[in-house]
Every structure is written in structure tokens, then in C-alpha cells.
Structure 1
Amino acid sequence: MTIQETGTARPAGRPRSEKAEKSIIEATLDLIGEGMGVSELTIEAIASRAGVGKTTIYRRWSNKEDLVVDALSTLKAPLPPLAGTSVRDDLIALVDAMRREHGQARSRCVMNIAMSEADRYPQLFERFLKRAVEPRREAMRQVIERGIASGELRADLDVDMAQAMISGTMLWHTKWGPAGDLSLDLAERVVDAALAGMAP
């Protein structure tokens, strides 16, 4: 796995080690998951946990914020393939990706701790949202707009409100819903409940 998009050109030199890079990413997530906030996190601590030198980290990331963005982004699985056969099927695929992510205790813990510091590191989290969240939001928007165009959804549907209803309901289940209610059919239930008010 190769992590990119730090916004800086890679310096020439010795070949990069994917093993070292993975160790650094894992060390960063481990430390955050153990309760270390972004403000407390240091390159020294990450290097020590990963078993690498600080220069190995700085060879890949110019600062801590770049590394944290990359580490958090690995918790977001790639967008699921969308068949395009029906709005319902595509929405279920997108929402089920949320269910799978939040079903992993480590991912949930790390994201909760990291997002709690969004006010202190607004630029860091703006970059994370742009990189990891916006593509999903845009994918859902396109599915809903396609549904309006095809007549599967109401012509007067408020697209932003529809997105909020679907995503917000899923977030409620993952954060505040009944314990353990991340059953395999949750995405289907969420989407069907939402579509009941969106159909023509």
C-alpha cells in the first residue's frame, strides 16, 4: 500500500520501503487509538513505535499533519463499485460501506479521538474531509440526482436534505443507536426508510 497526496514532491534518493511506510501509518493509528490526541502526538513517538528513525518519516511526510491525514484516510475504504442498475442498490452499497467502517472498533475509536480535535486543527481536518469524505458525498449526490432524472425519485426532491437523511441516519446508528445494531441488513433498512419519503 502506497500512501500519497501530501502535496509535496518526493525527493530523489533511496527507494521507498512500503513496509516502513505501513509501520509508520499503523504506529500513528495505534497511538491515536490508545488515546493520544493529535496535539500530543509527536514524530518521535511515532518513530519509536514504528521502529524507524525520524528521518524515515520526514522522507515521506513533511510534517505531523500530513502524516495524520494519510493515516486517517486509510481508515476509509475505497468507494464501493456502483452497479448503476437502480438508485436503491447504489445507495445501499454506499451506506453499507459506512456500516463496515464503523463496525471496526479501532477505526471508530481513532476517528472519535481525532475528530474531537477538529477545532484545534481545522486545516488538517478540512484536508481529511476533502480527501476521504467528499468523494463519498459526491458519489451519493450523483446517485440521487440520477434517480431524480430517471424518475425513481421525486422531481422536487431536495438533494442535500436527502443526503443528510440517509447519511445522518446511518451515523446515528453507528454512534448512538442500540448497541451492536450494525447488522448486515442495516444499510438496506436505512435506505428503504429514506426512499419511502423520496419516491414519486
Structure 2
Amino acid sequence: MTSTARTDGAQPTDDRKAPGRPRSARADEAITEAMLDLLAEGSSFEALTIEAVAARAGVGKATIYRRWPNKESMLVDAIARLKGDPPVPPGTSLREDLVTMLRPVGALRSTRAGQIMPCLIPELRRSPELQAVFQRAMEPRREALRKVLRYWIERGELRSDVDIELMQAMLAGPLLAKNVLFWNPDLPREGLPERLVDAVLAGIGVR
């Protein structure tokens, strides 16, 4: 029997398309972008649904579930996409490497991440599961900063007894407080990564 074309104007869904790496990559991008759009518009993570993400992305729910088992796993990839790859330090000096690592944190308020992160903070406090998701998504950036610190410890530019985890908090914490929590409006944002690095190195650098 001869097949007939559809006359209702509907197009085949992504679920029916032939598999292929470029097409899958486009679907992944559309889905994570849809999730980020909804969060940036003020949707709480708790209220966010797979149905809403699918509708915004223009795909079926089955397309999402073939890639992620739940919205928590989607959020890991969405945050990773939002943050992008960790910056690559130039390796020319300890100060310049640390400033390079901190500049994206210092610019957070004016970015899409700066719109989304405040919306997630109440959810992070209420949900241990979401807190775990967030920590997994942030770990690559923390590890990148650890590598910078270890590199300069080995070269004698930092004291060998430096607490690496504490130093990360000392460097990134004030920037996050400034740009996510909008703490202390009297502290200027311009040049803040450089000032933080200089203040911290004055205390822990090798004299």
C-alpha cells in the first residue's frame, strides 16, 4: 500500500529522526539551553518539570529520558555548559595564574550564570540531592584551581604547608559573596580579583 504524506502540518519529532552525532549534539544543546532559559526566567528547580523543558526545547520527553534519567542529572550538564570550561592559566607567574582563574567569578553578576545562581541558592539549602548535583558540577573548576596552587607550591612560590582548600575559599569566597549575594555595595567590583590575589599572597606567599 502506498504511504501518504501527513496533511496536518506536523513535523517528525526528534524521537523519530535517524541517529547521528551532529543531530544528537544539537538536541543536547537545545535541551540544556531550554533548562537554563527557564531557570534564568525565575523558575525554581523544584517547580521545573521535564515536560516544561521538553516543550521549550521542542523535543519529546522520550528524547530527554534517552539522555538523562532525571532532571538532577540534567542540571549537572546544564551547569557545566553554563560555566563553560575552566580558564587556562598562562603559567607565567603565580599572581597572573590566580587572577586568570578568578576573573570569571568576578564577572559572574553580569553573566547568565549570575542570573541563574541566585535562583538556585534556596534550592541548594533545602535539597541535599541538589547540593550534591551542584558540587559535582563545580568540582572541575575547583580541581583546576588546585592544580594551579600545586604547580606553584612545587616551584617554591607558595609555602609548602599551604591549606589548598582553605586558600580556594579565601580567593573565591569574597567574589561569590559580592556577585551572587550582592554583599557590601561599598566594595567596588572593578579590579577585585587582582586585589584579592594580592591580599592573600601577602600572607601566604614565600617571602
**Same fold per superposition (TM over 0.5):** yes
> What are structure 1's unaligned runs of at least 5 residues?
1-12
Could you tell me which amino acid in structure 2 is paired with residue 198 of structure 1? I
SS of equivalent residue, structure 2 residue 82: coil
Equivalent residue for 1:127? 133
Q: Which has the larger radius of gyration?
A: 2
Matched, 1:69 2:92: no
Equivalent residue for 2:59? 52
Following superposition, which runs of at least 4 residues in structure 1 exceed 4 angstroms of deviation?
A: none
Normalising by structure 2, report the TM-score. Answer: 0.77
> What are structure 2's unaligned runs of at least 5 residues?
1-17
**Residues 29 and 110, structure 1, Cα contact 8 Å, conserved in 2:** yes
Count how many residue pairs are aligned between Structure 1 and Structure 2: 185
Equivalent residue for 2:201? 195
Equivalent residue for 1:10? none
**Residues 24 and 47, structure 1, Cα contact 8 Å, conserved in 2:** yes
**Residues 36 and 116, structure 2, Cα contact 8 Å, conserved in 1:** yes
One of 166, 169, 172 as aligned partner of 1:167: 172
Instruction: Give identity over the alignment, percent.
Output: 45
- CA deviation after TM superposition for structure 1 residue 119, in Å: 4.0
- Partners of 1:120 and 1:172 lie apart in 2 by 19
> Residues 84 and 60 from structure 1, CA distance in 2 versus in 1: closer, same or farther, beyond 3 angstroms?
same
**Residues 103 and 182, structure 1, Cα contact 8 Å, conserved in 2:** no
Equivalent residue for 1:149? 154
- Partners of 2:128 and 2:189 lie apart in 1 by 30
Matched, 1:93 2:100: yes
CA offset digits 1:46-95 (Å, max 9, x no partner):
11222222222222222222212211221112111122222111111110
SS of equivalent residue, structure 1 residue 24: helix
**Residues 77 and 101, structure 1, Cα contact 8 Å, conserved in 2:** no
- Partners of 1:72 and 1:29 lie apart in 2 by 8
RMSD, aligned α-carbons: 2.3
Could you tell me which amino acid in structure 1 is paired with residue 35 of structure 2? T
- CA deviation after TM superposition for structure 1 residue 41, in Å: 0.8
> Residues 19 and 138 from structure 1, CA distance in 2 versus in 1: closer, same or farther, beyond 3 angstroms?
closer
Matched, 1:107 2:107: no
Normalising by structure 1, report the TM-score. Answer: 0.80
From the two aligned structures, give the one with the greater helix fraction: 2
- Partners of 1:187 and 1:18 lie apart in 2 by 35
- CA deviation after TM superposition for structure 1 residue 180, in Å: 9.4
- Partners of 1:14 and 1:142 lie apart in 2 by 38
